[in-house]
Chains A and B, each alone.
Chain A
């Protein structure tokens, strides 16, 4: 009597399933040594990734520091030059008003003095109208200085710096006016034209513009930190529809995620360019019923986004559209309990198109919280050439994160 296939298979299975074979004596030593090697490679990669992250943070930190330093210098410069201009005008005004205050007195190092200068200018300018008779009386050259001293009330304000020039000491005298004395640095922009000069208008309007821009929450640079729960959708592409159906019957896409950061540089009021680094994990389940086992495959990738953003809104609430390309740096696969049969997949997944709609709300002066529903459409095949089918995984996700705006210092 013949033997059917099942019996034939059973004989082989029973005989071979638990058959031991001779193992080379040095096998353990080889495993022990190579185990260490693999660990070293893994450690190298982890260190490389952490190094990249650290370098990224260092660059960001350095950029922030450089920006702050640059702004401080600029603020200082603007303060100096602005004050110089103003005090020159004060001098002019005062001279017009019959006082002999020189521009030097107004060279202040802080905004306080700038304001004081402005106030003195106001005082000089406005009061010159109100107290015209007194100033006019000073103009005759007889009571001018004495009148000015008396008028400015030397009791009220002692100058912060000792000056040899008694006339210089009279400069803060102009701050006798209570608002100047009590509020050293009110953060309000200098109104052009108060001093009666149009020379400083462009500077003031630039400062105003800068203020407007900052009020809208837009420093030139910002950084986004985000995490995103993702829903992956795989596309199996094959000329044979049966293969597509067959593959899909095994593969079940699972909730996945991505984390990353993006550095953004604004151009103009609305546009920006963004780049950064994104680490994503796509979870996939592959069910094998006959042996009652399932793979949980993870496709991990490091991507560099290159996006162009359009943003609008007010200082509190912003909406944005971000679109661009994600370039894959490297991808790798793991699965539990098996390791991946990585030969099917490429180690570089190519490019994806990205489209996101963001909503951001200001938390404080520098920080926004944002949510960005997005869609990633993969342009390249993830499977290697010669595979039975081509697979591409698209992603629908929701990035949630915080944006830190490296705002310019306010210029007043």
Chain B
């Protein structure tokens, strides 16, 4: 079954094809949800909500760009909607020009994907969301401002703080591991 046929069948509400589509993308989408969620339960809620929207709107897919990209965007949006249902405080700090020159490149590169994921999950909510949108999803600050209804400057400062916090965490992890060695 090609992707095109799979989509066509999903539009026809074919349950087997819907399940196939779910199984094809569920793992990757779960990672996206985990990046935005506070905990695993919230991530599961996001995944559930996201796939419901995927199946509800699959007929709107125009076969432009990859299906994975389309599903991913819906998933991010579903995650944001759930996150936004509770009040997020984006503490508006001043522009941070703190670079990462002092960080050890190997310390970052040696991190496994799951360790990175854990680090992101430990970030405060505002930092985490902005970091995900900017670094992983590829939105710019103006667009993040539009999405979250915050000032672009707030988005910049949240990102800067997020990077700084991640750096601190990486360094702490590195020190710990060096200590054990």
Contacts and interface: CB of A to CB of B under 8 A. Distances in A.
Interface stretch (A46-54, A118-126, A243-251): A243-251
B143 A288 contact: yes
A3 interface: yes
B142 to A, nearest CB: 7
A252 B131 CA distance: 27
Interface string B143-181: 101110111100000000001000100000000000000
A19 B120 CA distance: 14
Interface string B36-61: 00000000100110011101110011
Contacts of A343: 81, 84-85
Nearest to B30: A21
A28 B56 contact: no
B100 A338 contact: no
Interface in B91-105: 99-105
Given A16-B117, A23-B30, A31 B22 contact: yes
A3 B26 contact: no
B130 interface: no
A64 B52 CA distance: 45
A290 B143 contact: yes
A291 interface: yes
Interface residues of A, number: 54
Contact of A2 (B99, B116, B120): B99
B35 interface: yes
B101 A2 contact: yes
A192 B53 CA distance: 75
Contact of B61 (A2, A8, A337, A344): A337
A16 B31 contact: yes
A312 interface: no
A34 interface: yes
B136 A338 contact: no
A38 interface: yes
A246 B144 CA distance: 12
A104 B31 CA distance: 96
Interface residues on B, range: 35 or more
B17 interface: no
Given A291-B143, A339-B57, A341-B147, A11 B35 contact: no
A245 B136 CA distance: 27
Contacts of B137: 291
A9 B78 CA distance: 24
B150 A388 contact: yes
Interface in A1-44: 1-5, 7-9, 11-13, 15-24, 27-28, 30-32, 34-35, 38-39
A22 B27 contact: yes
Nearest to A21: B30
Nearest to A386: B87
A19 B28 contact: yes
B122 interface: no
B19 interface: yes
B73 A5 contact: no
A24 B163 contact: no
B111 to A, nearest CB: 8
A246 B152 contact: yes
B4 to A, nearest CB: 17
A1 B109 CA distance: 13
Given A5-B100, A246-B145, A291-B139, A11 B151 contact: no
A293 interface: yes
Max chain B Cβ within 10 angstroms of own Cβ: one of A7, A247, A291, A342:
A291
Residue among B109, B113, B120 with the most chain A CB within 10 A?
A: B113
Contacts of A1: 105
A35 B151 contact: no
A3 B103 contact: yes
Given A293-B73, A341-B81, A12 B47 contact: no
Contact of B48 (A22, A34, A290): A34
Given A5-B163, A8-B108, A34-B48, A28 B61 contact: no
A7 B108 CA distance: 10
A408 to B, nearest CB: 50
A387 B149 contact: yes
A388 B136 contact: no
22 contacts: A3-B104, A4-B100, A11-B109, A16-B120, A21-B30, A21-B31, A27-B22, A27-B44, A31-B52, A35-B52, A39-B56, A242-B151, A286-B146, A291-B137, A337-B57, A337-B73, A338-B73, A338-B77, A341-B80, A341-B147, A342-B81, A388-B149
A316 to B, nearest CB: 47
B116 A15 contact: yes
